[in-house]
Structure 1
Amino acid sequence: MKVALLTGGGDCPGLNPVIRAVVRTIHNAGGKSIGMLEGWRGAIEGNFTDLRVQDTDEIIARGGTILGSSRTNPYKDPDDPELADRLIKTFDELDVDALIAIGGDDTLGVASRLYSERKFPVVGVPKTIDNDLSCTDFTFGFDTSINIVMESVDRLRTTAESHRRVMVIETMGRHAGWIACFAGIATAADFILVPEVEVDIDEMCNILKARRAEGKSYGLIIASEGAKLPQSGMVTQDAEVDDFGHVKLGGIGDNLAEVIEERTGIETRAVTLGHLQRGGPPSAYDRVLGTRLGINAARLVLNRQYGRMVALRGMGIVDAPLSEAVGTLRTLDLEFMREAGEFFKYDADPNHTP
């Protein structure tokens, strides 16, 4: 069996462990693996590289993806199937038996459509630092991302304390608050802003002022890039969209810092962590999860169980139809915010004894 792999969308810690696991599993079964370069673009243009065990055995510690990635969408123009036709032709010319597509909602959405419309032999592996894919409890890359945010905030805490400032840290996550919520809990943030919960500016500022009055000399606010301020709505840096129609998010941290300083009188600074959250080597958890997903994706291919996606459910790896895994945003479970909310309460009467 000859199996192709591709990685699409944003890069993510844990992609290389998936590639390594697929190559090893296919090799153990007597098959061969090739990698399409730069996601669906490589599949359309026929750019690929051979993937051998000896070339991939040590990539488990590397961040990003050795295959490169892109946000190319073969179905960008719904009325023009030319790109999808070229993609199918590429795999026919390369004599590929099946494809393992590793990516988020967009990449897997293309994979699902290829299977449903053309019965193309494809299996999906879910990937995103945002942890917003349905049908899986967690995605690899998420654990590394929140650890990077945690380490960054721990460093910012010292400078915030030294200058008696409030620091607003803007995280990624798009329209789901998983990164902001988990990072906020892990760093003892004074307040967390996520897209799923309406932001109460008054409450946030009251908490900061109350804690300053109680003797805390600094403050930490974690804000998801997709959170909305009541007076301005979602903030975007520009109105351009990618091939999948996504607008670029960002800017809420700067706006929030201005509001906080104006309402509290406390000097406030904003830090946008940006692509730092995607970079660097994957955590141990993401290396193990990526490896397990890769092994099981390869097994689906070897068993010719196409049109499916591997997923984490509890501690086990299961599979689900691709059609069920895409198209529905998996937003933050608000139970986590309710638990975090225990630390956002303040007493309007500082002399009150419970």
Structure 2
Amino acid sequence: MDKNLHILCPDVPWPADYGGVIDPFYLLVQLKAVGIQVYLHCFTQNRAPQKELEKYCKEVHYYRRDKTALLSNTLPYIVKSRSSKKLLQELGKNNYPILMQGIHTTYFLYKKLLPNRKILLRPFNVESTYYQQLSALEINPFKKYFFKRESRLLKSYEKEVSTMIPILALSQTDKQFFEEQNARSYFIPVIIPWQEVSILPGTGNYCLYHGNLSVNENQKAVEWLLTKVFNDLEFPIIFAGKNPNLKTAKLISKNKNAALIANPTESKMQELIKNAQINLAPSFNHTGIKLKILNALFNGRHCIANSQAVTGSGIEALVSVTDDAENMKKAILELMALPVTEEQKGRRSAVLNDVYNNKKNTEKIIAMIY
């Protein structure tokens, strides 16, 4: 008997080139491999429809986001803008179970327009916390106001919606948050593109920070690394990522040991990660899961991060955790000349293959749906 599933995705999950689409896309790949027929529903804003998705889905539907939702004073914009009537019609054509990816896609659940349906929610993080932290870091007054308002609306919205259906959290920290909202919350780690640890022998000669450099949290991390850590370290550091703004580019150019690689290809980014001696991943956001750290652990040499980046991830023991600039400097000095040992590689493989095992984690999701 065929197993069918609707998946609601807040964005088009291909190319799988940023955190919010990694889990949705690679889950599609896993579900296809075990014969589940997926009806994928994507909201579009800046990303075009993709033929690639048709390889993994029975049907793929696209919906435009409603920008007039900005006028709503009662519902978060990220939710209200994804309230397409066409989507509701498609979901009503059958009674297949629904997996909602991100709190963004829960409008019809909130409105109780999907009665007697098996529905699960897979939040990417605690969005109210995420937007609160975006607001704290934002300089632009209009964006700051928007992030602050969105955080306030999301706080009450998350509290109500999370009690309606089971939650499949990406981290232990998020699982605990939703449990505190009286939700039935379960930790099922992110589905990822890497499954084997592959570390180059020997040592590299630079540190790397990578991420979307148009995001204010990552801009803050660049500034912190340059002004607090590499202000008096003589080791080379490379910053690589999407769309750095002029301020970030200028800041990097002022440090003689720093270099910027803007908008690298995926293959170039992986080359940088693999060849770096240390991948640095300080974070100012303690919700969700940091995929850049998983990438570094599967494919890079040493990794240094702070507690906010790894708490609740299950990989804390694999990372050098430092929570201030001086201790990060010490860790860099210690690790710059040290190759990754066979024992360290073995420990990484054991932990990562246990916690971030795609086959096992997909089976957990399927078991909860059916």
Question: What TM-score comes out, normalization by structure 2 length?
Answer: 0.38
More relative contact order in 1 or in 2 (CA 8 Å, sep 6+)? Answer: 1
Q: Name the larger-Rg structure.
A: 1
